[in-house]
Structure 1
Amino acid sequence: MAMEGQSKLDTHSALYYHWRVWELTGLMCPAGVSRFGYLVYSIVINSVVTVLFPLSLLARLLFTTNMAGMCENLTITITDIVANLKFVNVFLVREQLYEIRSLLKVMDSRARRVGDPEELSALRREVDIAQGSFRTFARIFVFGTTLSCIRGFLRPERELLYPAWFGIDWMHSTTNYVIIYIYQLFGLVVQAIQNCASDSYPPAFLCLLTGHMRALELRVRRIGYLPDNFKEDYDSWREEVYEELVECIRDLMRVYRLREIIQRVLSVACMAQFACSAAVQCTVAMHFLYMADDNDLTAMIISIVFFTAVTLEVFVICYFGDRMRTQSEALCDAFYACNWVDQLPKFKRDLLFTLARTQRPSLIYAGYYIALSLETFEQVIRFTYSAFTLLLRAK
């Protein structure tokens, strides 16, 4: 059973759902599929949805003349445009995504060779958390999409799923209305799938990094302790312990390489999320304080959903970033905790260099500037509260 569990270890499966979405939406060509045919498919679906859908929202925003409609449309438009920018960023960093997959195979192979049940359990737990975060985001997007459809059905007058401009008369033409409604429904579903993957892959990557740090921490803490049934030559055993330290240092370099690649992948996406969160929170606050229509309950609910969603997205990436930082500190402590006292001078020398390298906790930065930590989320909440209070006093 233990060997079976080792052979099944694949931490890249934390991104299983994301990879399937990226294949479905034209970013990653699946194995066995014609590259030319997939290129045509990718161009068509992204031209029709990724480009045209936000352009129709933006055009409607430009033609909006009343402040209430502008606040509502602006919330939707900002969210959708930023979501598409994050989706485009996935395309731009796809080479790094392939590099991460290759690196994870090497790190998984090392974990299987060590075969420690606690290490394997820690890695599988992070995979489960990453997949669970995708499913949580999926439920949120399903709820938001369903609410938009219900709102369209309940309106007494003819109305689109989302306020958009198409340049044709759909109010007085049933055929035009049905065509546009079907297009919006299709575009909304595709955009929801894209956004679900774009919003949940940052915590998935942070889970992977945390899991491999945890596995290495457990590995390092065992270094240098004599087994109960020790019968070998003491000097030979110390040489073996030194080789074990060297292997762990190589593992540490792989972890740092993984962190470096993840930093490049997440920097733009997380910065865009922070900017989107601030813009949407201020817009929703304006909508509530000045322009909210008490008779349009569904519009208010949708605004609350958008506000909650963008705030939750920032909290999730900050929480998992803070969790990864805490694990990096535990990894540093593990090098202190190994039994270095009885080891060779070269062991102690290499350990000192390694400790100097691990003193600074690892962090992922949005835009290479804003740390993903709970302290950052606290600052975001304080900014939101201050802006809301200012608007309330000015009313």
Structure 2
Amino acid sequence: MSTTRKRIAVIGLGTAGSMAAWRLASRGADVVGYEQFGTSHDRSAHAGESRIFRTAYFEDQDYAPLIRSAKALWRQLEAETGTELLTLTGNLMLGEASAEMANVSESIDKFGVDAVAIPLEEARKRWPQHPYREGDVVVLDREGGYLRPELAVLKAARRAEALGAELRTYTPVEGIEVKADGVWVTAGGHSERYDHAVVTPGPWAGKLFPELAMLIEARKVVSAWFAGREPGAFDPAHFPCFVRATPREFYGLPAMAGNGLKLGLSGAVNRPVPDPDALDRTVPLDEVKAFRALVAESFPGLYPDPIRVSAYMEGYTRDGHGIVGRLGGEERITAVTGLSGHGFKLSPALGEIAADYALTGSSENTLALLNPDRFLATPTITENP
């Protein structure tokens, strides 16, 4: 690994930015992080109390090695901070035979993921809380579980500080300009020069870089929490996290406090946010009713009225895969954004990839399906004298 003391700006200290700051500081970089809100705020993609961690993957089987790298880094962050962040309870994937379920099977076969198909009758006995359908495929990912996102972002940021990073909270970035002598970042009317900038703006990507406005859509994500009727029925010790792919996509995790479930719907139904600076965090009754209908249909073991709902934002690309790499061909800008609802579990590995690009100019750890070039065919950042 390179330990050249380069001066690196990290713009946005949420899901990916906090991890990039930690990995860069760990590798000897001179890191300055910018965040428009406070550390581990609740407006963006790491809000919501919990995130599923899964290794057998719906989206593409080639994520499996990256997830394994992320798992090792999660354990490293836990060790360095003395904090439990990843709890392995298992994760169920359910649905009819489909391309998504085929990806799950291929990730198991290709990469030796510790997961197994569970016969439907056995699944009904082990997890009777679920409404199984004839034709369902049920896979138990033994390496799955849940993460604590707000705590994880906070701990990564604080660990970066302990390693020498300077984190400037409540400091919005007003501009980024590439010049012959480096990357100039302007915040609070003051500009500073850096050797490289790692840009992790989340739903604000289009505001910071206009060329990303057509590639990344900010959407409002709603989570709802429901109480269980029977004590212990949804305890994580015997009720794994889950993702259902068909006939309707939704996911659930045991509630962190008390007996119940946190539920979320498919990213495809999340409503666009025209201006991420003006997110309406209220949850209208039609969205509450959609959750009520889901619970009535799928989980009779829950009371149908949510005891809590919350809204935050995520950035989605057209193909559902993130943008990770050099932005517009410019060697001094690395972007990690548009993670499309499944990036948190990967975030320490994405932070490591960002550190690779910033310090060595390339990364052997990244995936071709995350390359910004699939959208940005020609450079769009111009160099100024």
Higher strand share: 2
Which is greater in Rg?
1
Higher helix share: 1
* Fold similarity call, TM over 0.5: no
TM-score range, shorter chain: under 0.3
| TM-score under structure 2 length normalisation | 0.24
